[in-house]
């Protein structure tokens, strides 16, 4: 299904998975956890995800390269500093953290399946094509970066 490679924007995938989690979660057993505690944990996780995404976008902008996940050929710099020194894909990791926060807010362990679907889809149809392009464009520098920094976290 390589025809799906980089065709669906990651924010659309995030939205569809979140919607599915919200719609399907009530059909599964819920955790009996205090709503206030659950809400605080979910909010903290969501805030962490926002911080990751915003930090990654700012780092791309400072490096004067694109953060657009659809137009891969527009990348003009290999960004390996800042948050990218800890994760090769902090924007997608932040989005996954949004979904984990949603599962916590829903008190639904079953909703974590949505996180796995998101991670699997993004890895296969977004990250791997990005990696192939970056490998072609930046060669050995990108290979060294991949050896030093994990794909997710």
Residue 42: per-residue pLDDT: 98
Longest dimension (CA), the chain: 51
> Are the beta carbons of 150 and 127 closer than 8 angstroms?
no
Query: What are the backbone dihedrals phi and psi of residue 63, each rounded to the nearest 5 degrees, phi first?
Result: -85, 0
Q: What is the pLDDT of residue 152?
A: 96
Provide the residue count of the chain. Answer: 153
- pLDDT means per 10 residues, the chain with 153 residues, are 82 98 94 91 98 98 93 91 98 99 96 98 96 96 98 95
- Quote the pLDDT of residue 22: 97
Q: What's the pTM value of the predicted model, to 2 decimals?
A: 0.94
């Amino acid at each position: 299904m390589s025809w799906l490679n980089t065709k669906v924007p990651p924010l659309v995938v995030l939205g569809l998975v979140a919607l599915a989690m919200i719609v399907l979660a009530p059909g599964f057993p819920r955790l009996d956890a205090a709503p206030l505690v659950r809400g605080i944990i979910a909010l903290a996780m969501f805030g962490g995800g926002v911080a990751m995404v915003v930090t990654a976008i700012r780092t791309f902008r400072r490096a004067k390269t694109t953060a657009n996940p659809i137009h891969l050929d527009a990348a003009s710099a290999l960004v390996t500093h800042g948050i990218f020194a800890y994760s090769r894909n902090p924007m997608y990791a932040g989005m996954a953290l949004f979904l984990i926060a949603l599962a916590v807010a829903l008190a639904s362990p079953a909703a974590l399946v949505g996180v796995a679907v998101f991670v699997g889809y993004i890895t296969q149809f977004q990250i791997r094509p990005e990696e192939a392009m970056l490998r072609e464009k930046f060669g050995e520098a990108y290979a060294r970066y991949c050896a030093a920094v994990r794909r997710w976290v």
